[in-house]
Amino acid sequence: MLGNFSYKNATKLYFGDDSLKYLNEELPKYGKTVQLIYGGGSVKKNGIYDAVVDILKANGKTIVEDSGVMPNPTVEKLREGVQLARENKVDFLLAMGGGSCCDYAKAVSVSVNCDDDPWEKYYIRFEEPDCEILPVGCILTMAGTGSEMNAGSVITNHEQKLKIGHVFGEEVMPKFSILNPKFTMTLPKRQMVSGIYDIFNHICEQYFSGEDDNTSDYIAEALMRSVIHSSLIAVENPEDYEARSNIMWTATWALNTLISRGKTTDWMVHMLGQAVGAITDATHGMTLAAVSLPYYRHIMPFGLKKFVRFAVDVWKIDPTGKTDEEIGNEGLQAMESWMKQIGLTMNITELGADESMIEAITDATIILDGGYKELTRDEVTEILRESL
């Protein structure tokens, strides 16, 4: 049965090819000075930046530029953004980009008025904010992380060789997010594919926990089938609006906390992938893809019933005359074939890791206990070696 839970998601979404116009409805709710957060400048090349700036100016906003947010936002960048917000007495943070920009904006939001060191307080001690939080809005240009409708924020500390996520309380969720599928069509194919696997794995992390027959898992299975179907279309034709729309919408539902209700959830693939990313600075979705199959093959015996269900209900494996182990393995083989078909990186060697880094990646891996088996340190090392 489902466990007891509460659920609230306060983020308002505007979805569709005309969704940017609704920024005009949201901006009057917040103060005059807006910190405009974005990455390496692709939003300037594709025209999104100009469109957003025009709307900000039309609403009488003072714009504080905060560019250069990297794919794995660093603690140094966080401190830079906090200083910028303090010096300019910023009222509102507007993130324009992918999940990294959204994550970074949320980290800044809880840190501007924080007297403590934000890295130590939020990412080492995992404390909640006890200060005023700046409101955040998101304009999404990449589908994958779900950061547009949750309170999660991942920050990397290269000096400590750590990449850590903190899921804050509901007050840190974006006040609104604008989702225009056309904005995602300017991404390079590799980034699109990376985002697709991030979506899929978010669902897996919540699905592969518990043995019960519950509504959350039925929703998860439908979302996974949607990702698989739309990804194959988008890889062949990246400008297929329906496919990109479904991918974007699924990304949001994959991690807005709905399908985790009543479940323990796993998240070890993310812990392994983030550790790889902390050492190599590789693309997040690709790190997840590279460690997933070794991890799932390792834990399948401990959650075999769910892996059989995954094979039959998601991958349509015919169970006739087969053992549960055979069915589960066929499901993972089907998953592997799909991953290769859409162009994912299948090992951490291609991401810059080698045997000499395994101990450091193991040290950077946070071991969680929500899945079918709590790993030992030796098992983490073994899975990483199988991922090379």
Q: How many Cα atoms within 13 Å fall on the side-chain side of residue 231?
A: 29
pLDDT tens sequence across 208-235: 998 777 899 999 999 999 999 999 999 9
pLDDT tens sequence across 26-40: 999 999 999 999 998
Q: What is the pLDDT of residue 246?
A: 97
Q: What is the pLDDT of residue 262?
A: 85
Pick the more confident residue, 36 or 261: 36
Query: Cα separation of 103 and 152, whole Å?
Result: 7
Segments of 30-186 assigned E as strands: 33-37, 62-66, 92-97, 136-140, 152-157, 162-167, 176-179
All domains of the chain in start order, with CATH: 12-183 (3.40.50.1970), 189-386 (1.20.1090.10)
Beta strand pairing status for 162-167 and 152-157? Answer: antiparallel
The encoded tokens of residue 233 equal 């279309």
**Count of beta carbons in the 10 Å neighbourhood of residue 54:** 10
Local structure of 173: helix, strand or coil: coil
Q: What is the pLDDT of residue 213?
A: 77
Q: What is the pLDDT of residue 2?
A: 66
Does residue 3 register a pLDDT over 80? Answer: no
Q: What is the pLDDT of residue 1?
A: 58
Torsion, Cα 144 283 37 182, to 10 degrees, reads -40
Q: How many Cα atoms within 13 Å fall on the side-chain side of residue 297?
A: 17
Does residue 291 register a pLDDT over 70? Answer: yes
Query: Cα separation of 310 and 221, whole Å?
Result: 8
pLDDT tens sequence across 128-169: 999 999 999 999 999 999 999 999 999 999 999 999 999 999
Query: Cα separation of 266 and 370, whole Å?
Result: 5
The closest alpha carbon to 317, from 302, 301, 337, belongs to 337
Is residue 232 a contact partner of residue 19, using CB atoms and an 8 Å limit?
no
Q: How large a percentage of the chain has pLDDT more than 70?
A: 99
**What is the overall mean pLDDT for the chain?**
95
Query: Cα separation of 229 and 82, whole Å?
Result: 41
Query: Cα separation of 15 and 117, whole Å?
Result: 36
Query: Cα separation of 90 and 113, whole Å?
Result: 11
Give the mean pLDDT of 235-246. Answer: 96
Sign of torsion, CA 294 299 300 305? negative
